[in-house]
Amino acid sequence: MTITLYGIPNCDTVKKARTWLADNGHDFTFHDFKKQGLSRELVEGWLADLDWETLVNRKGMTWRNLPDERQASITDNDSAIALMLENPSVIKRPVLVGQGPTSVGFSADQYAIKFGAAQ
């Protein structure tokens, strides 16, 4: 199965995830969603395993810089998808697809469990 890591290259958490995958011998494709874009179908696929509240990073600057009315309008999958497609920086990173259920975020322990690696 193909493993794809979605994110942006200058994000520290994405860098850590990429390093962990490479250091542990896992082949993967990196998808820079700011440069390569996202499709509605892709985000809907993530939402099959994750809820929108997990995917939308409400602690980040992108979210905090949105007008209060825009933040308040994000109430369900459809409104969250529209926001993520309009502004991919609001997505919590990285998103990992292809090794079990879609996951978001990174910790070495989380990936070790997901990939069955010994710590």
pLDDT digits (tens, 9 = 90+) for 27-73: 999 999 989 999 999 999 999 999 999 999 999 999 999 999 999 99
- Neighbour tally for 76: CB within 10 Å: 9
Q: What's the sign of the alpha-carbon dihedral 3, 22, 106, 86? A: negative
Catalytic residue among 3, 11, 47, 66: 11
Burial class (CB in 10 A: 0-12, 13-18, 19+), 97: buried
* pLDDT tens readout for residues 72-85: 999 999 999 999 99
- The question of whether 11 is a catalytic residue gets the answer yes
Please tell me the pTM assigned to this model. 0.91
* pLDDT tens readout for residues 10-30: 999 999 999 999 999 999 999
The residue range of the domain holding 70 is 4-115
Question: What CATH number has the domain bearing residue 14?
Answer: 3.40.30.10
Please give the tally of structural domains in the chain.
1
